[in-house]
Amino acid sequence: MTITGSPTITPSASTTSLASTRTSHELTVVPGTRTTRDDLRAVPTVLKSEWIKLSTVRANKAILGLTVAINGFAAWAVATSVKDEVPTVSKVFVFPALLTAVLAAVAGILLFTTEAQHGTLATSLTAQPSRWIVAASKMAVTVGVGLVLGTAGMASAAAGALVGGLEIGDTSAAAPTALYALLFISLSALIGLGIGMTARHSAAAISGLLVWWFVGENLIRAFAPATVSRFLPFDAGYRLLGVGSDFDTPEILAVALPRPSLAVVFAVYAAVGITMGTVLLYRRDTN
């Protein structure tokens, strides 16, 4: 067989028929070697595969349902229980976004770890030996999942607050708050993906994430100076919501970063997580 500079293709009879009438398995295609163009052409098909995988597993639908339910209920609960001040929908709709971010991070972890644990990652990597395509597609889908969860969650929270009897209120800050919330949730999902790509084990990744998020960071915040703790990843992410915390001391508030800076801090952590995960995807053997 001769490999030419301009590969030619000899179509076999079976390529136009669903029911294979192929009469020969001999090499009829001069394959040539893979190019960057081939890799780029593969991205839409791999994205399609990721969508099929995402939409055909009940667990993902359950996470979406849980997000809607938690956000709606939490906002309704705030609307019906808070009496010392009068909240509005434009403020309450983002209160449960922290829970949505946790669910998004878990979803990001599961997007990778379920594949690794069920062996379908190997199928993807044999189909696409250029592993960056698989990594990039997973990142794109993960961001999409974050955006969907964030949007559905905030919409549900707004609805819950309305049902709870709250007024809409001043919406001038709602749009930027919503965008920052979406950023927080999507980057949380990406961080989850990076953790999943590193750990390759669902339970280890999820428990590690939650322990760091709700125990590790609180401990560091309690003992480290505010100038250091303001760079903690999920602390920075949470402050994107513009919601105050009971743990905010005057010292913390004095050195608090503005939202754009918080976004950069959180994004850097997401980038580090994804980069580490992608490097390990290349370096590690896959069973």
Which residues in this chain contact another protein in the complex, by CB under 8 A?
A: 1, 3, 7, 12, 14-15, 18-20, 22-27, 29, 31-35, 38, 41-42, 45-46, 48-49, 52-53, 56-59, 114, 118-120, 122-130, 285-287
* Nearest-5° Cα angle at 266, 245 to 74: 40
User: Which is nearer to another protein, 7 or 260 (by Cβ)?
Assistant: 7
Question: Which CB, 25 or 83, lies closer to another protein?
Answer: 25
DSSP secondary structure letter of residue 84: S
Minimum CB distance to another protein smaller for 31 or for 176: 31
**Closer residue to another protein (CB): 115 or 217:** 115
Which of helix, strand or coil describes residue 2?
coil
| 3-state DSSP assignment of residue 29 | strand
User: Are 166 and 92 contacting, i.e. CB atoms less than 8 angstroms apart?
Assistant: yes
Q: In sequence order, which residues have a C-beta less than 8 Å from that of residue 103 and are 6 or more positions away?
A: 63, 66, 67, 70, 149
b (16+ CB within 10 A) / e for 145-167: bbbbbbbbbbebbbbbbbebebe
Residue with smaller CB distance to another protein, 24 or 172: 24
Distance, in Å, from the CA atom of 196 to the CA atom of 114, rounded to the nearest integer, reads: 9
- Minimal distance in Å, beta carbon 156 to another protein? 25
User: Given the complex with another protein, which of 6 and 81 has the nearer CB atom?
Assistant: 6
CA nearest to 277, candidates 189, 191, 163: 191
**Structure-token match 């960056």, residue found:** 132
Our CB check for another protein shows the closer of 34 and 176 to be 34
DSSP character at residue 214: I
Phi/psi at 160 (nearest 5 deg)?
Answer: -65, -40
- Per-residue DSSP letter, 258: P
What are the Cα distances from residue 90, in Å, to 75, 159, 167, 237?
11, 11, 8, 20
CB of residue 128 vs another protein: minimum separation in angstroms? Answer: 6
